[in-house]
Every structure is written in structure tokens, then in C-alpha cells.
Amino acid sequence: MCARIAHRGPDSQGVWTDPDSGVTLGHRRLAIVDLSPQGRQPMTSASGRYVVVFNGEIYNHAELRQQFGPLPWRGHSDTETLLACFDRHGVIASLPLLVGMFAVAVWDNHEKELTLARDRLGEKPLYWGALPSGDFVFGSELRALEAHPRFEGAIDRDAIADLLQYSCIGAPRSIYAHVRKLEPGSWMTLPLSRQTRSGRYWSLMEVAAAGRQRAAGPTLNDTDASDELERLLGQAVRGQIMADVPVGAFLSGGVDSSAVVAMMMRQSSTRVRTFSIGFSEPGFNEAEFAKAVAQHLGTQHTEHYVTEADALAVVEQLPDLYDEPFADPSQIPTYLVSRMARRDVTVALSGDAGDELFAGYNRYRLAARTWGSLQRFPLPLRRAAASAAIAISPGTWDRLFGVPNALLPPQRRIGNAGDKVHKFATRVMRAPTQLAMYETLLSHWEEVEQVVPGAGARRPRIEALAATLRADANGVDCMCLADQLGYLPDDILAKVDRAAMSVSLETRVPLLDHRIVEFAWGVPLHQKLRGKESKWLLRQVLYRHVPRALIERPKQGFGVPLDQWLRGPLRAWAEELLQESRLRAEGFLDATAVRARWREHLSGQRNWQYALWNVLMFQAWLNRRPGLTTPRSPSLGPRP
């Protein structure tokens, strides 16, 4: 099991066993803090009571050590500090004291119980499974669990539906019916002789609700709020550049990564190493902006322009890099920039989470603005208009838009107009509420349970959040919360963790310091969205260090020209995975529905790039596990 995740820890391996209790802990080490043998795991506490394996970093471990006074420390690792906390406070009571990212497994020799815990926002992964054989297994990646001799790989069809709809599989599900992800901010304890216990030591839902109440009352003015955010970000970066190995940062030239690098430059005594990749395709290249920011800040910058061949070569590696089916296409450039950075550093800070915390995504403003116009019309009228729009074929719409497009400058012309009209009518005009509309904007397959035979009925993920926040919660707050609970840990953080750890690179996310998250929820909406400017407050902090002119430009995604690739260089690869006979033999997907979208995409009438990529990533993953291709019964039994 350890050997399967050697890429996560190439520096050493350790195993600890208690034969009488039937417990074994294994660890692969990526040495970051205390490179000596004193930092190796599994590690036993000074009292001998606790044995731990842990992946991640405790950024405030030096401050925690000061609270213990003089102790006979063996080394200076954060693992030893963690065990000292357990000895003094107990495992569960120690978790709220930690500032960091972590997945922890700790065995209590006195109580004969195993406790698993995961960091507040879900930066580090932790899978666990109660196997039909009675064995309990856990690990950082599924591939470790698959190596267990009694592992059974029955596929969870609801997880396939998650993947097709959202491009990822949301916690607590995994692709396997008998394996789950421990949710962020959670712990579970398995005693040998008593009932399993579980709970949360930190709840994002509670943080959001409390923050909304603060935001409704007196709040900091713009200057004081900017000062406080700068202080918190500086504090987070100061803790996260802690390492005994080289540290750098990903730099896109956007607001979030530029703010993180600016704070790093203030804290570092040497030039910060920064990394970015570029693409020659227009609309996908941010390298020139990153280079300008790097020159202004004075970083030691490395950039690499990726050819189409470089990027395409990664596609066949994806099922192995992401050992659970995963379908965010930006996984490709994320892997490439991680591989480049690893040549020079062992740790890289990123600017992830700024969009979710400070309302940065264009879709937030689009949903709010569009809904403001649509709600003036009764729902039956909107649905009738949508049906009329869909009755006209995409090709006819393209011809209708042909004359107006010809009169517009090239940069303002509407490509695939018919496809866009159909998507707007289907996903937006028919929605009964603003949050239902947002749900459809996030979904790549409508009525996905019909595409995955045996999957259960889908439940909207967002609608219930409004009542949790406040009765008068605005739609943008609900959208941000939905993304922080789902899209951020299940997509963004999983994407970065697997890509980076596949090349033995540790990534850290300063904006996910829980103190920044709690602060952001207490910020009123007008300090996040102001006019046409998103992430307003974070921009004010950044503009103290980087000229506004270097940052202000239309937001670009970190992606690849997937629609073109599927009609061109990836067509043969995709066609093989989407063969109708193959889909029918495997039995997991409705072959008729999948083939229909594939034909429409190839014709150029519709752009189904994301819907098809989700299917292709499942098919490519399944192709590497031929023993799982036998159709399973739709009824997979109770959840473990």
C-alpha cells in the first residue's frame, strides 16, 4: 500500500504494527520540515500512548511548542509537536488548535482506538473503507487501498453521476461503493470494542452563518478592512513559507496569485522563485501577464511555453495521475506547471480560493444580473419562450446570427450562437429560482440519472444553503458557500494535490488559512463585488504592491482548447473510448445519449466539450481497471 503512493513521499518509508490489536500504520515521507531521521513517521509520542501518520503541515507548530515550555524534544518537526498536543490535550481537543493542512491517522495505545481527521477546508485527501471482509483501510489515495489483498472494487453509480454532472466526485462519496472520503473539518474514531464515533471540529456552514450575521451589522470601513486582510494574508504566508527545503509559488499574473507572491516578497530575505506556463493559443495564455508582475515584484521567474504536443502527451497519463476519475480539463496545465516547478523547489504556494472567498467568478455576477432581468417574467412564460427557442435548431440560429455577426468586429462576434441559445434556454430560462439556475450552470449533463442507469435521483446542492445562512441570504453568498463546500475541495484542491504530489511537490494555499476564511464571511458583499469589479477588497490589498494597470484585464481560465482537440488530435483516442459496443458491454453509461452528444460535437453544431470530457475521463480510468468493467447491480447496498 505504501509503495503505491511512493510519489507522495519519495524520501523514506516507515511501518508500525501492533499485532495484538491488528493495526498497521504506513507512511511515505516527503521531507519538508526537519529533514533528519527525527522527523520520520510513523512516530510515537513521548508518553508512548499515541502513534501517528500524517500528511501535511502544521504552520503554527513553533508557537504551539512555546506553550509547552522546556521539553526534551527529539527534533524540530511539526509531527513531534502534533504528538505533544495529543499527549497534553487528547486527539479531538487538539484539532481546533492547529493551523494547517493535514490528513491524520493516530492510534491510541491506551484506549485501543484509531482516529482519522482532516483539515478544515479539505486541502489534504483522506479515503477510508470498511471492506466486506471486515478489514478497515485508509490512505491518501485510492490506489493505496486498491493494493489491499481483500479490496473489492464495486463501482458506485451515484459517484459516476456526480462525475458527469460536476466533473468531480464530491465527498463523502468515492468512485467505489465501499470507500468514502472523510469530509473537511471532520474526525472519526474507531475503537476495537465500542461503536464508531464521528463529528466536526470546524464547520464551514456555521462559520458562514455567523459571518453573515456580522456582515449585517457594523463592519470595518474600506481602509480598515483592507488593512486587516493584508495583516491576515501576511500572517498566513509567513507561516506557510516555513520549510527546510526550497519554496516557490505559482504565478498566473491574476489577483490571487499576485497577492500571495507580493506577501512572500515582503516576508522573504531572498528572491522568491515563481513559475508559470504559457500557451500559444489565443485566449489561453496568461504567461505574459505573470512575467510583467514578476518583473515588477522582482521575483526569480521561470516560464515555459507548452506546445500542443506537450499538453496532449499528458492526456494518456491522467487516469494514473488522478487515481479517481476526475475531469476538470485544467488538470493538464496544473500538472505541467507542477512538473516544471519541482525542478527547482519542493514546496509551492498557490493563489487558489480567492474566487470562492471574495466572489471572483464571472458566473456569480452573471447569475445575479441575469436573474434580475428574468424574474420580471412569470415562470410559465419563460418556460414557453425556452421551448420555442429550443424548437429552432442550432444550425438555424447560427444562420440567423450570421448577418449581425458579420457587422460586428471579430472580438465581439458570437461563436456557436445556436449552441449558446439552446444552453441559455435549457439551463437559465427554465429555472424556477436563482439558485436553481446556478445549479444548472454548474452541471454538464441535464437529468444525468438517465445517462447513468441505476443512479439515484439527484438532489440540488445549493437550494438548502439559503435557509442555513439567513432567510434573506443573497444569491451570491449562497453561490460562494456552495463552491466552498463542493467545488473548492472536490475539484480545485483535489486537482492541485494530485497533480503536484504526482511529482513530489507540496502545494500550500495561504488564502485557505481558516482565519482568512472566517474574516471573508464577515465582509459585506459590497466589499467583494463593487460595480463591475470582483474580489474588490483583495484587489485593494494587491494594488498597494502591484500597479492596477498590470492586473486589470478580463478574467481568463486556466484551461486548454479542449473543444478543438476533441475534433482534431484527440478524436481517435476519444472515438475508441466512446465506441457504442464498448459502452453497451460495460453497462455503466447510456450509449445512445453519449453517442448523440459525440456526433453533435463532431459536427460543430454544439460544443459538448465538458460533458464529453467527463465521460472520457471515466472511460479512460475504467480502461486501466479491466476487472471493473462487468456491469454491477444498480442496488449497491447501504453506505459503510
Cell of 582: 464498448
Helices vs strands, H then E, count in the chain: 29, 16
Q: Please give the single-letter amino acid code of residue 183.
A: E
- Residue 507's SS3 state is strand
Q: Where are the alpha helices (DSSP H) in 543-579?
A: 548-551, 562-567, 571-577
Q: Out of 56-65, 109-118, 360-369, which region has the weakest mean confidence (pLDDT)?
A: 360-369
Q: Does the pLDDT at position 423 exceed 90?
A: no
At residue 60 the predicted structure's pLDDT band, cuts being 50, 70 and 90, is: very high
Instruction: Let me know if residue 96 belongs to a domain.
Output: yes
Instruction: Let me know if residue 480 belongs to a domain.
Output: no
Domain ends where: 202, 230, 253? 202
What does DSSP assign to residue 92?
H
Q: Out of 194-203, 379-388, 424-433, 581-590, which region has the weakest mean confidence (pLDDT)?
A: 424-433
Q: CATH number of the domain at 271, please.
A: 3.40.50.620
Q: Are both 188 and 267 inside the same structural domain? A: no
Highest mean pLDDT among 119-123, 209-213, 465-469: 119-123
Q: Are both 173 and 254 inside the same structural domain? A: no
CA distance 241 to 508: 9
**Among 604, 217, 153, 178, CA closest to 394:** 604
Q: Are both 544 and 582 inside the same structural domain? A: no
Instruction: Let me know if residue 409 belongs to a domain.
Output: no
At residue 27 the predicted structure's pLDDT band, cuts being 50, 70 and 90, is: very high
Q: Are both 91 and 193 inside the same structural domain? A: yes
Domain ends where: 202, 230, 246? 202
CA distance 7 to 168: 22
* pLDDT for residue 434: 81
Q: Are both 128 and 233 inside the same structural domain? A: no
| Residue carrying C-alpha cell 524540530 | 76
CA distance 40 to 33: 10
Any residues with CB less than 8 A from the CB of 69 and at least 6 apart, and which? none
Cell of 327: 475531469
Q: Are both 179 and 134 inside the same structural domain? A: yes
Q: Does the pLDDT at position 636 exceed 60?
A: no
Instruction: Let me know if residue 492 belongs to a domain.
Output: no
Q: How many domains does the chain have?
A: 3
Q: Does the pLDDT at position 540 exceed 60?
A: yes
Do the bridges between strand 506-508 and strand 247-250 make them parallel or antiparallel, or are there none, so unpaired?
unpaired
Cell of 5: 503512493
Which secondary structure element, helix H or strand E, spans residue 178, and what is its range? none
Instruction: Let me know if residue 485 belongs to a domain.
Output: no
Q: Are both 164 and 234 inside the same structural domain? A: no
* pLDDT for residue 637: 32
Q: Are 150 and 133 in contact (CB under 8 A)?
A: yes
Q: What pLDDT digit, counting tens, does each position of 261-312 carry?
A: 999 999 988 899 999 998 876 666 678 899 999 999 999 999 998 888 988 9
Q: CATH number of the domain at 197, please.
A: 3.60.20.10
Instruction: Let me know if residue 353 belongs to a domain.
Output: yes
Q: What pLDDT digit, counting tens, does each position of 223-263 carry?
A: 999 999 999 999 999 999 999 999 999 999 999 999 999 99
Any residues with CB less than 8 A from the CB of 442 and at least 6 apart, and which? 166, 487
Question: Longest C-alpha distance within the chain, in Å?
Answer: 80
175: left (phi over 0), alpha (psi -120 to 50) or beta: alpha
Instruction: Let me know if residue 35 belongs to a domain.
Output: yes
The mean pLDDT value of the chain amounts to 91
Backbone angles phi, psi at 18, to 5 degrees: -115, 95
Higher pLDDT, 438 or 250: 250
Range of the domain at 292: 220-359+503-516+524-551
Q: Are both 10 and 147 inside the same structural domain? A: yes
Q: Are 42 and 181 in contact (CB under 8 A)?
A: no
Q: What pLDDT digit, counting tens, does each position of 488-501 carry?
A: 999 999 999 999 99
Q: Are both 120 and 229 inside the same structural domain? A: no
Cell of 409: 468586429
Mean pLDDT within 163-183: 96
* pLDDT for residue 638: 32
The percentage of residues in the chain with a pLDDT greater than 70, rounded to a whole number, is 93
Higher pLDDT, 405 or 62: 62
Q: Does the pLDDT at position 635 exceed 60?
A: no
Q: Please give the single-letter amino acid code of residue 561.
A: P
Q: Are both 575 and 543 inside the same structural domain? A: no
Q: Are both 194 and 267 inside the same structural domain? A: no
Instruction: Let me know if residue 443 belongs to a domain.
Output: no
**Among 55, 89, 277, CA closest to 201:** 89
Q: In what order do the strands lie in the sheet with 136-139?
A: 136-139, 127-130, 179-181
* pLDDT for residue 396: 85
Q: Are both 106 and 8 inside the same structural domain? A: yes
CA distance 380 to 429: 10
* pLDDT for residue 193: 79
Backbone angles phi, psi at 71, to 5 degrees: -130, 155
Q: Does the pLDDT at position 640 exceed 50?
A: no
* pLDDT for residue 461: 65
